[in-house]
């Protein structure tokens, strides 16, 4: 046996050991994965990802495997693999499965799946975060070293924070979304979960590129800032919903960034919050445009969100879009003062029991620091930033303008040490 084949054997041992946690919706048959491993061992090592096992969220197409988007009644079997996934396969990585998610990538809790709530990797009574819950937990449990999720409102960052991972949301359009079930199609992003920023960068390097199959695909000149000497903006008012543990850890993160050469500046966060609110306002209509035919198949909480689109007219949308342009202008003001914005990735974490009592309200709390990024055309990375006293992870996010991806990951690497 070769080392790749041995690694795949270990992956399947770990999948079996964690079978009681509904992380996977589809597992590639072991014989098939071993066959792929044997083929990869004969390939030249074209990439640092050669021979590495990975998983993808089950709203991304893989030829021959069902795509369910967390809704069994929606399932179809695609004839073509999503561009981003295909690029990982071309790099010699080995797909071992497709992971659970908040249905139709609608939610930040990890509890909105017909297959059951994915359990937090550190404490099962807490939520794992969504919508890319399974992709995050598969990495956090050590089943695979990296995974792909999607991130429209924070779905690739909130579960990273709750499971002690790096969650990277690239600049919109940098990675093709061809072959991804749309949530809000014009602003959807493929996201990356990894244990470190250099590993996230390796995955990003493999999957970037303009794609004629994706009308939102684009490229741009990388924007740099120094990871040794930089200014970071902190909102003048911070929301933790009474979570003193998270508040304390955030204060420590500010201190750490100062020690790394950062100069803090205070900003008015209101334009960012107003932009974030629009995503669950008139932009829900874009979700509904793709998902309305499937309303009857949805979980009640997802249907409630999508049906909310009915109260918005075309007039409302254009008013909101014009307002968004004004908010983009205001948000640029923050980046004239600082290179990056520092925020908690989520203001707090909830238990599964708490979330079940107030599913919509508490879910909305979770997106406080994430839901504006794609609408305002920003890149973001969530980084592990310590543990609360009860052993639950905390994460911070660094957010910067489009095409700062490499600089963000370089600063993230320094923060991780």
Q: What residues have CB less than 8 Å from 232, skipping those under 6 apart? A: 257, 262, 263, 264, 265, 338, 339, 340, 341, 342, 398
Average pLDDT, the chain: 97
- Among the residue ranges 120-124, 149-153, 274-278, 308-312, the one predicted with the least confidence is 308-312
Please give the Cα distance from 172 to 25 (Å, whole number): 27
pLDDT for residue 386: 98
Whether 161 and 146 have beta carbons less than 8 Å apart is answered as no
Residues making up the chain, counted from first to last: 417
Complete domains list, the chain, with CATH: 3-207 (3.90.1300.10), 230-378 (1.20.58.1700)
The H-assigned helical ranges of 176-263 are: 197-207, 244-259
State the pLDDT at residue 36: 97
Q: Is the pLDDT of residue 242 over 90?
A: yes
Q: Which residues are catalytic?
A: 57, 131, 155
pLDDT bin (cut points 50, 70, 90) of residue 1 is low
Cα separation, 219 vs 193, whole angstroms? 22
What are the pLDDT digits (tens) for 283-341? Answer: 999 999 999 999 999 999 999 999 999 999 999 999 999 999 999 999 999 999 999 99
Average pLDDT over residues 50-54: 98
pTM, rounded to two decimals: 0.98
Average pLDDT rounded to a whole number, residues 364-389: 98
Per-residue confidence (pLDDT) for residue 197, from 0 to 100: 98
- How much is the pLDDT for 387? 98
Question: Is residue 196 predicted with pLDDT exceeding 70?
Answer: yes
Residue 2's pLDDT band (cuts 50, 70, 90): confident
Residue 166: predicted pLDDT:
99
Instruction: Give the Cα separation of 332 and 335 in Å (integer).
Output: 5
Render pLDDT for 61-81 as a digit per residue (tens, 0 to 9): 999 999 999 999 999 999 999
Q: What is the pLDDT of residue 199?
A: 98
């Amino acid at each position: 046996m070769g080392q790749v084949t041995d690694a795949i054997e270990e992956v399947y041992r770990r999948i079996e050991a964690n079978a009681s946690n509904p992380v996977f919706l589809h597992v590639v048959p072991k014989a098939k994965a071993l066959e792929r491993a044997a083929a990869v061992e004969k390939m030249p090592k074209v990439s640092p990802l050669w021979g590495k096992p990975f998983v993808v969220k089950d709203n991304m197409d893989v030829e021959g495997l069902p795509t369910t988007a967390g809704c069994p009644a929606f399932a179809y079997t695609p004839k073509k693999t999503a561009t981003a996934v295909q690029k990982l396969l071309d790099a010699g990585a080995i797909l071992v499965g497709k992971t659970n998610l908040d249905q139709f990538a609608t939610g930040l809790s990890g509890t909105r799946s017909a297959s059951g709530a994915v359990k937090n990797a550190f404490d099962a009574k807490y939520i794992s975060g969504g919508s890319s819950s399974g992709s995050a937990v598969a990495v956090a449990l050590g089943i695979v070293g990296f995974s792909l999720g999607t991130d429209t409102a924070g779905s690739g960052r909130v579960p990273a924070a709750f499971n002690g991972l790096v969650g990277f949301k690239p600049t919109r359009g940098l990675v093709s979304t061809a072959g991804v079930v749309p949530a809000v199609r014009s602003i959807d992003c493929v996201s990356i979960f990894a244990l470190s920023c250099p590993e996230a960068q390796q995955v990003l390097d493999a999957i970037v590129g303009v794609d004629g199959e994706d009308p939102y695909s684009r490229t741009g000149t990388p924007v740099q800032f120094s990871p040794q000497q930089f200014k970071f903006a902190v909102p003048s008012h911070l929301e933790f919903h009474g979570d003193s543990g998270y508040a304390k850890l955030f204060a420590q993160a500010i201190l750490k960034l100062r020690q790394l050469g950062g100069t803090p500046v205070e900003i008015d966060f209101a334009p960012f919050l107003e932009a974030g609110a629009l995503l669950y306002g008139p932009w829900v209509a874009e979700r509904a445009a793709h998902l309305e035919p499937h309303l009857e198949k949805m979980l009640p909480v997802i249907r409630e969100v999508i049906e909310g689109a009915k109260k918005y007219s075309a007039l409302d949308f254009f008013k909101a879009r014009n307002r968004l342009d004004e908010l983009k202008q205001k948000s640029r003001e923050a980046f004239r003062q600082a290179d990056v914005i520092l925020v908690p990735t989520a203001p707090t974490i909830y238990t599964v029991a708490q979330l079940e009592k107030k599913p919509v309200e508490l879910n909305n709390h979770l997106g406080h620091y994430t839901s504006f990024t794609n609408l305002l055309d920003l890149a973001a990375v969530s980084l592990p930033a310590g543990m609360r006293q009860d052993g639950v992870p905390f994460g911070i996010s660094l957010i910067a303008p489009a095409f700062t991806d490499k600089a963000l990951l370089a600063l993230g690497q320094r923060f991780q040490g």
